[in-house]
Amino acid sequence: MSARVLQANDPEALRTALDILRQGGLVAFPTDTVYGVGAMAFDTAAVERIYAAKGRDATKALPILLADQDGLSEVADEITPDARRLAETFWPGPLTIVVRKRDVVPEAVSWGATIGVRVPAHPVTLELLNASGPLAATSANLSGAPDSMSADEVVAALGDRIDLILDGGRAPGGRPSTVVDCTVSPPSLAREGPVSMDLILAVLGRAGR
């Protein structure tokens, strides 16, 4: 059965999404970069459903989306000054920051010692995150396939594999977030994206080093 699609501004949309997430379901939603699909970050079985739905390699960690910087303390064991500075500067926005994870983060999210975290700059996603808490989330597509930029594209890619799609119109960014590893000094670029490494280093006072 194909996923239910609700307009993000539907009065029932948020309540329905929360009910599904709390029952271990998968919800897709627009972000400032591409459409994502998420599950409650501390629900191991739900997180494992993301890998199955996407056909994703289980050794590839999932990022965690947060409502704000305060959520870092829920998932990060250590927040370096560099990580804090980048979060203050670029969040909400298209920058994923890799930090050392807390033990409460399931191995299904990340089997290693680190986790990527981000606060997306999209009102639909932020409203959902403020109500749900941290979500393990990744792009709403089959692994290796093009990113989904609209609800229709999510339906085509994952429609029979997830539970709900929040249709918030076309995702405005069109490019996955920059990923920077702040567990090393100086921070290193793990994936190019909308925020350049030159800008990151400039913010940290390390330009030209």
pLDDT, tens digit only, all 209 positions of the chain? 789 999 999 999 999 999 999 999 999 999 999 999 999 999 999 999 999 999 999 999 999 999 999 999 999 998 999 999 999 999 999 999 999 999 999 999 999 999 999 999 999 999 999 999 999 999 999 999 999 999 999 999 999 999 999 999 999 998 999 999 999 999 999 999 999 999 999 999 976 54
Position 1 scores a pLDDT of: 75
- Decide if 85 is inside a domain: yes
Q: Which domain holds residue 33?
A: 4-203
Query: 78 φ, ψ to 5°?
Result: -140, 130
- Decide if 208 is inside a domain: no
Nearest CA to 163 out of 171, 172, 154 is that of 154
Output the pTM of the full model.
0.96
- 44: tokens are 């191991």
Position 78 scores a pLDDT of: 87
- Decide if 167 is inside a domain: yes
CA angle 105, 108, 110 (to 5 degrees): 60
CATH classification of the domain holding 145: 3.90.870.10
- Decide if 81 is inside a domain: yes
Overall domain count for the chain: 1
- Decide if 122 is inside a domain: yes
Nearest CA to 74 out of 44, 111, 45, 42 is that of 42
- Decide if 209 is inside a domain: no
Position 115 scores a pLDDT of: 97
- Decide if 100 is inside a domain: yes
- Decide if 151 is inside a domain: yes
